[in-house]
Amino acid sequence: MESAFQKNILCIGAGYVGGPTMAMIAYKCPQYRVNVVDINPIRIQEWNSSELPIFEPGLDEIVAEVRGKNLFFTTDIDKGIHDADIIFVSVNTPTKTFGVGAGMAADLQYWEKTARQILRCSESSKIIVEKSTLPVKTALAMERILKSDNSHIHFEVLSNPEFLAEGTAIQDLENPDRVLIGCSQTESGFKAMEQIVEIYANWIPKERILTSNIWSSELSKLVANAFLAQRISSINAISELCEKTEADVKEVARAIGMDTRIGNKFLNASVGFGGSCFQKDILNLVYLCRSYGLNIVADYWESVVSINNHQKERFVLNMLKAMFNTLAGKKICLFGFAFKADTGDTRETPARYVAQKLLEENAELVISDPQALQNAQKDMHGVTGKIHYIKDPYAAAQGCHAIAIITEWDLYRHLDYKKIFSSMNKPAFIFDGRNIVDHNILFDIGFNVYPIGKPALTHF
Ligand code: UDX
Ligand code: UDX
C-alpha cells in the first residue's frame, strides 16, 4: 500500500499502556501513521468517542489533536498487521490463574495468540516490539513462533518496556527519565533498534534513550517495579514500628530521604500499594527466580508482597480495634476507591480488600471517589452487604461513624472537615490511610484520628 507516511506503526492492545503511548507517538511524530487495534470493540468505540476508556490528565487533548489525522483506532487487527512496518504489542499479561505457576507466573496466552496472528497476517518483514511486561526470555519464545513457518519474511523482536505511571502518563511519556530498548546483539537486531531509537528521538534527548541486550531490557522492567514496590513495603514496615514507638513515619521518611543515596521519592507510607503492575510483576520475578532454583532470592522479593498484604490487613484490624471491636451496623465511608490519585483505575486497589473486610464485619459502606465509582461498582459486584456509591464526599460522609481515606486525591486534603464532622455520628473516627490531612486540626475539630505510622489522636 502506498502511503504518505514515513512509517506505519501498529499497536496491538488499546489499554492503559498502548492507548496513551501511541497517542504520544502520533502527537510527536506527524510523519508516522499510528494504528491502534484491540480485540475489544467497545474499547475501540470508546477511543473513537469523546469519552475515552481511561481517565488520564492531558490525554483527551492529545487524542483530540491527532485522532483521524495520524492516529487511528480500529478492530481490524489482521489488516493492521498486514500494513505495519513496526508492531508494538501491548496486550495484557495477567497473573496465571490456572495450572502450573497459578497465582505467580504471567499468563502468556494472549501473547502467543498475538504472535501467531502476526505470523498469519504478514506478507512483509516487520519489527515486533514488546511493550507489555513479560518474563525474561519471552522474546525468544516469540521468535520461535514467528520463525515457525520457514518463510522468507524476517521478524526482529525487540523489547521496549513502558515505565509510565498512571495519573502522570502524559507527563511520563513526554518527558521520561529514560527510554529502554533491548535488541538481539546481531546485525539485524541493531538495525531494528535504530528504527525504534529514531521514533523516540523525535522528542527525547538521545542520552536518555538507553539500549541494551534484550534480556536486560525485559528484566529491567520487572526489577524497576520490584524496587519501587520494595521501597513502599520498606516504609510501610517501618510505619508499624512508628505506631508502637511514638516516632512519626513522615519525619523518618524526610530524614532518610534527604540522604541523596536513598532519595526522597516513593517513601509515602500508605494503606498499601495497588495497581495492575507491582504485585503481578514481583510475583512474576519470584516465579522466575524459583524456576532457576534461586529460592532465597525468591523469598526476599516475595516478602515485599507479604508486607503489603500485612499492611492492608493491619489497616482494617486497626479500624476494628479503634471502634470498640465491633463494626456491625456501623456506617463507614471510604474516601477513594482508585488504587492511586488521578486515575479511575481500581485494579488491585487496597480499597477492594478494605471494603470486603469491613463488609465481613457487617459494616454498611459508603464508597466515594471522583473518578472510580463505575469501576468500584464492577469490582464490588456480587459481594454481599450494604454498599452505597456517592461521589460527593460531603453527602457520602453524612451519618457515618467513620471515614477511611484510601486514595490520596487532592480533593480530600481540602474539604471542610468541620462541616463533615457535624454531619457524622459521634464519636466520629477518621483513618487516614495516606497521611494527607492535618491530623491535629482534625483532632481539634473533634475527630478521633488514626494516621499511618504515627500514634493515634483520641478523645478518650
Ligand atoms: C499493559 C501491559 O500489557 C502489561 O503487561 C503491563 O504489565 C502493564 O501494561 P495495560 O495496558 O494496563 O497492560 O492492560 P489493559 O489496559 O488490560 O490493556 C490490554 C488491552 O489488550 C485490552 O484492551 C485488551 O482488550 C487487549 N487485548 C488483549 C487484545 O487486543 N488482544 C488480546 O489477545 C488480548
Ligand atoms: C507503576 C510504576 O511506577 C511505573 O513505572 C510502571 O510502568 C507501572 O507501575 P503505577 O502502578 O501506575 O506505576 O503507579 P505508582 O505511582 O507506581 O503507584 C503504585 C502504587 O503505590 C499506588 O497504589 C500508590 O498509591 C502506591 N504508592 C506509591 C505508595 O503507597 N507510596 C508511595 O510513596 C508511592
Is 183 catalytic? The answer is no
Q: Is the pLDDT of residue 148 over 90?
A: no
Q: Is the pLDDT of residue 346 over 70?
A: yes
| Residue to probe by mutation, ligand 1, list 16, 44, 91, 219, most atoms within 8 Å of CB | 91
What pLDDT does 403 receive?
A: 98
Of ligand 1's listed atoms, the one at least distance from the Cα of 133 is: 5
Residue 2 domain flag = no
CATH number assigned to the domain comprising residue 260: 1.10.1040.10
Of ligand 1's listed atoms, the one at least distance from the Cα of 90 is: 3
103 in Cβ contact with 96 (< 8 Å): yes
Cβ-proximal residues to 422 (8 Å cutoff; 6+ apart), any chain: none
Confidence of residue 278 (pLDDT cuts 50, 70, 90): very high
CA–CA dist 415, 348 (Å, integer):
27
Amino acid at position 112, single letter: E
**Is 93 touching ligand 1 by the criterion CB < 6 Å?**
yes
* 133 and 18 part of one domain: yes
Residue 441 domain flag = yes
* 289 and 326 part of one domain: no
Q: DSSP character for 96?
A: P
Of ligand 1's listed atoms, the one at least distance from the Cα of 162 is: 9
Q: Range with the lowest mean pLDDT among 123-137, 191-205, 251-265?
A: 123-137
Q: Is the pLDDT of residue 109 over 60?
A: yes
- CA 12–ligand 1 middle distance (angstroms): 8
Q: Is the pLDDT of residue 3 over 80?
A: no
Confidence of residue 132 (pLDDT cuts 50, 70, 90): confident
* 260 and 349 part of one domain: no
Choice among 277, 289, 333, 400 that is catalytic = 277
Q: How many helices (H) and strands (E) does the chain have?
A: 17, 14
* 44 and 177 part of one domain: yes
* 67 and 191 part of one domain: yes
CA–CA dist 285, 180 (Å, integer):
19
What pLDDT does 201 receive?
A: 98
| Residue to probe by mutation, ligand 2, list 232, 311, 406, most atoms within 8 Å of CB | 232
Q: Range with the lowest mean pLDDT among 91-100, 120-129, 214-223?
A: 91-100
| Strands lying side by side in the sheet with 448-450 | 387-389, 364-368, 331-335, 402-405, 429-432, 448-450
Of 140 and 19, the structure prediction assigns the larger pLDDT to 19
* 394 and 302 part of one domain: no
CATH number assigned to the domain comprising residue 389: 3.40.50.720
Question: Quick one: cell of 349?
Answer: 486497589
| Strands lying side by side in the sheet with 179-183 | 71-74, 32-37, 7-12, 86-89, 126-130, 155-159, 179-183, 209-213
Residue 440 sits in which domain range? 309-450
What pLDDT does 308 receive?
A: 98
Of ligand 2's listed atoms, the one at least distance from the Cα of 232 is: 31
Residue 281 domain flag = yes
H or E element, residue 332? strand 331-335
Domain count, the chain: 3
Q: In this structure, which long-range contacts are made by residues 242-245, counting pairs with CB atoms below 8 Å and at least 24 apart in sequence?
A: 242/453, 242/454, 243/452, 243/453, 243/454, 243/455
Q: How far is CA 435 from the centre of its chain?
A: 21
Q: Which of 255, 279, 306 is the last residue of a domain?
A: 306
Nearest one of 415, 406, 434, 408 to 342, comparing CA atoms = 408
What pLDDT does 415 receive?
A: 98
Q: Is the pLDDT of residue 2 over 70?
A: no
Residue 460 domain flag = no
Q: How wide is the angle at C-alpha 273 spanned by C-alphas 14 and 292, nearest 5°? A: 80
Residue 332, judged by CB atoms within 10 A of its CB (0-12, 13-18, 19+), counts as buried
Beta bridge partners of 210: 180
- CA 18–ligand 1 middle distance (angstroms): 7
Q: Range with the lowest mean pLDDT among 102-111, 183-192, 379-388?
A: 102-111
* 65 and 136 part of one domain: yes
Residue 209 domain flag = no
Residue 379 domain flag = yes
Nearest one of 240, 220, 275 to 94, comparing CA atoms = 275
Q: In this structure, which long-range contacts are made by residues 292-295, counting pairs with CB atoms below 8 Å and at least 24 apart in sequence?
A: none
What pLDDT does 104 receive?
A: 87
Nearest one of 191, 194, 217 to 138, comparing CA atoms = 217
Q: Is the pLDDT of residue 1 over 60?
A: no
Q: Which of 175, 204, 233 is the last residue of a domain?
A: 204
Q: Which ligand is nearest to the CA of 163?
A: 2
- CA 173–ligand 2 middle distance (angstroms): 16
Q: Which of 279, 306, 333 is the last residue of a domain?
A: 306
Mean pLDDT of the chain: 96
* 280 and 365 part of one domain: no
| Residue to probe by mutation, ligand 2, list 59, 221, 238, 277, most atoms within 8 Å of CB | 277
Confidence of residue 73 (pLDDT cuts 50, 70, 90): very high
| CB crowding 247-270: b at 16 or more within 10 Å, else e | bbbbebbeebeeeeeeeeebbbbb
Q: Give the CA distances from residue 46 to residues 74, 199, 259, 381, in Å, rounded to whole numbers and listed in that order.
A: 11, 27, 46, 23
Residue 211 domain flag = no
What pLDDT does 140 receive?
A: 85
* 129 and 81 part of one domain: yes
Q: Is the pLDDT of residue 139 over 90?
A: no
CA–CA dist 70, 4 (Å, integer):
11
* 275 and 334 part of one domain: no
If one counts every other C-beta atom within 10 angstroms of the C-beta of residue 107, the result is: 17
Average pLDDT over residues 100-114: 89
Confidence of residue 143 (pLDDT cuts 50, 70, 90): confident
What pLDDT does 105 receive?
A: 84
382 in Cβ contact with 356 (< 8 Å): no
Please give the sequence-ordered ranges of beta strands (E in DSSP) within 123-218, or none if there are none.
Answer: 126-130, 155-159, 179-183, 209-213
Average pLDDT over residues 451-460: 96
Nearest one of 187, 128, 136 to 156, comparing CA atoms = 128
Q: Is the pLDDT of residue 133 over 60?
A: yes
What pLDDT does 315 receive?
A: 98
CA–CA dist 333, 369 (Å, integer):
11
Report the percent of the chain where pLDDT is more than 70. 99
Q: Which ligand is nearest to the CA of 281?
A: 1
Q: pLDDT (tens digit, 9 = 90+) per residue, 361-396?
A: 999 999 999 999 999 999 999 999 999 999 999 999
Pairing mode, strands 448-450 and 429-432: parallel
Could you tell me the pTM of the whole model?
A: 0.94
322 in Cβ contact with 456 (< 8 Å): yes
Question: Quick one: cell of 437?
Answer: 490531612
Q: Give the CA distances from residue 111 to residues 227, 405, 437, in Å, rounded to whole numbers and listed in that order.
A: 25, 38, 44
Pairing mode, strands 448-450 and 32-37: unpaired
Of ligand 2's listed atoms, the one at least distance from the Cα of 133 is: 7
- CA 317–ligand 1 middle distance (angstroms): 35
* 158 and 55 part of one domain: yes
Residue 216 domain flag = no
* 301 and 313 part of one domain: no
Q: Range with the lowest mean pLDDT among 84-98, 184-198, 302-316, 358-372?
A: 84-98
What pLDDT does 135 receive?
A: 80
- CA 286–ligand 1 middle distance (angstroms): 22
Q: pLDDT (tens digit, 9 = 90+) per residue, 18-45?
A: 999 999 999 999 999 999 999 999 999 9
SS3 of 348, please?
coil
What pLDDT does 95 receive?
A: 87
**Is 15 touching ligand 1 by the criterion CB < 6 Å?**
yes
